[in-house]
């Protein structure tokens, strides 16, 4: 077994049990997760309760619930892959919150779904209860962030939890054919030239901030009005000092950034222009084959969206939380 958590396994429920275990054991991780979900710090979560597999009469069971007295209550529905929970499944959990005098209530989907799919498929609220999405990569990032503020014992647990998630995410990520297409400017930051670091060091970095995605499986760069290259993302690191990653960089403390390690460039066989809907700093998602078979990035994005919309409207299969 590579980690303590591998004793559980790598199925959907196993990942949820691992998440619940870490919430119950690591105060630092619990704080990071609750703050992320609530949007602001939960002042005192020491009396919080994490409940696994709570049975709801005639409505299946919830994966994970975290409640902190009258301050916070979230129900987590977790999926191992990119499948999102249905509206019907999430709606059946809403009665759990009925008549509960709790300041912050959340329905949380934990999946590997790309941001575009989430934006088009997941409701923002159900019967007044906010719905949000947290990716497994965000869970991984929160665990890494909590590491510095934990005891030595919990640091070891967090290390094993991170290794466990990275192994599973690596397996899931290899199945994704979505490419994040970004505009690569000619400027620089901290004495690091954006284009040169991609070309010569096969690195690309961006802030871990709203508006930016979890590290993708593929990333593509465009400038001079056209697509330049597509790269597989081999792995990623998080840095708060660019000097630790780039020798030529200034020694400075910055907000957390994801640093992607890129594979060899895939050069389109024909010129792929931006098209009318892709301009300035626009960032879009495209399936890799659409970028290699269309004349513009705009056309590739439109075809990708058509396929995603088609998937959304296909009948859903059965789910563990739904009644037959």
Is residue 252 within 8 A of residue 190, CB to CB? The reply is yes
In a domain, 321, yes or no: no
User: Which among 172, 190, 210 is the end of a domain?
Assistant: 172
Alpha helices in the chain, H assignment, sequence order: 12-25, 27-38, 87-91, 115-121, 136-147, 152-173, 194-201, 288-293, 297-312
In a domain, 153, yes or no: yes
In a domain, 324, yes or no: no
One domain, residues 181 and 168: no
In a domain, 323, yes or no: no
Segment 37-45 shows an average pLDDT of: 83
In a domain, 22, yes or no: yes
One domain, residues 9 and 148: yes
Q: Where residue 320 falls among pLDDT bands split at 50, 70, 90?
A: very low
pLDDT of amino acid 314: 45
Is residue 124 within 8 A of residue 90, CB to CB? The reply is no
One domain, residues 19 and 114: yes
Is residue 274 within 8 A of residue 184, CB to CB? The reply is no
Q: What are phi and psi of 105, to 5 degrees?
A: -120, 140
Lowest mean pLDDT among 49-63, 118-132, 149-163, 190-204: 49-63
User: Which among 125, 150, 172 is the end of a domain?
Assistant: 172
Give the structural domain span for 284: 177-311
One domain, residues 166 and 86: yes
Cα separation of 160 and 41, whole Å? 26
**Closest listed residue to residue 80, CA positions, set 139, 142, 160:** 139
> Total domain count for the chain?
2
Express each pLDDT in 124-145 by its tens digit.
999 999 999 999 989 999 999 9
Look at the pTM and tell me if it is higher than 0.85. no
- Virtual torsion, Cα 291, 295, 299, 305, nearest 10 deg: -20
Cα separation of 35 and 13, whole Å? 24
Is residue 135 within 8 A of residue 143, CB to CB? The reply is no
pLDDT of amino acid 12: 86
One domain, residues 128 and 215: no
One domain, residues 104 and 203: no
In a domain, 151, yes or no: yes
Is residue 94 within 8 A of residue 130, CB to CB? The reply is no
Is residue 116 within 8 A of residue 283, CB to CB? The reply is no
């Amino acid at each position: 077994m590579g980690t303590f958590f591998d004793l559980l396994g790598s199925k959907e429920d196993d990942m949820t049990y691992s998440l619940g275990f870490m919430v119950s054991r690591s105060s630092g991780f619990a704080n990071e997760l609750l703050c992320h979900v609530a949007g602001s710090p939960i002042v005192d979560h020491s009396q919080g309760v994490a409940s696994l597999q709570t049975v709801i009469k005639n409505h299946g069971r919830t994966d994970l619930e975290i409640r902190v007295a009258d301050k916070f209550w979230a129900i987590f529905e977790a999926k191992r892959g990119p499948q999102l929970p249905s509206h019907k499944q999430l709606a059946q959990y809403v009665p759990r919150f009925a008549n509960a005098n709790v300041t912050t209530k959340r329905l949380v989907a934990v999946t590997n779904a790309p941001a575009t799919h989430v934006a088009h498929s997941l409701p923002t609220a159900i019967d007044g209860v906010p719905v949000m999405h947290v990716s497994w990569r965000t869970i991984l990032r929160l665990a890494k962030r909590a590491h510095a503020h934990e005891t030595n014992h919990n640091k070891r647990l967090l290390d094993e939890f991170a290794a466990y998630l990275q192994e599973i995410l690596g397996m899931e990520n290899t199945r994704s054919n979505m490419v994040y297409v970004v505009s690569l400017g000619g400027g620089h930051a901290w004495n690091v030239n954006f284009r040169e670091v991609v070309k010569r060091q096969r690195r690309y970095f961006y802030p871990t901030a709203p508006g930016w995605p979890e590290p993708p499986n593929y990333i593509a760069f465009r400038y001079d009005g056209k697509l330049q290259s597509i790269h597989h993302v081999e792995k990623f690191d998080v840095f708060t000092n660019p000097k630790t990653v780039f020798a030529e960089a200034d020694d400075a403390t910055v907000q957390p950034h994801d640093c992607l390690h890129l594979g060899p460039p895939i050069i389109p066989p024909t010129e792929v222009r931006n098209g009318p809907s892709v301009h300035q700093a626009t960032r879009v998602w495209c399936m890799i084959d659409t970028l290699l078979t269309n004349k513009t990035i705009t056309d590739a994005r439109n075809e990708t969206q058509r396929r995603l919309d088609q998937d959304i409207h296909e009948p859903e299969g059965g789910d563990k939380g739904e009644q037959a």
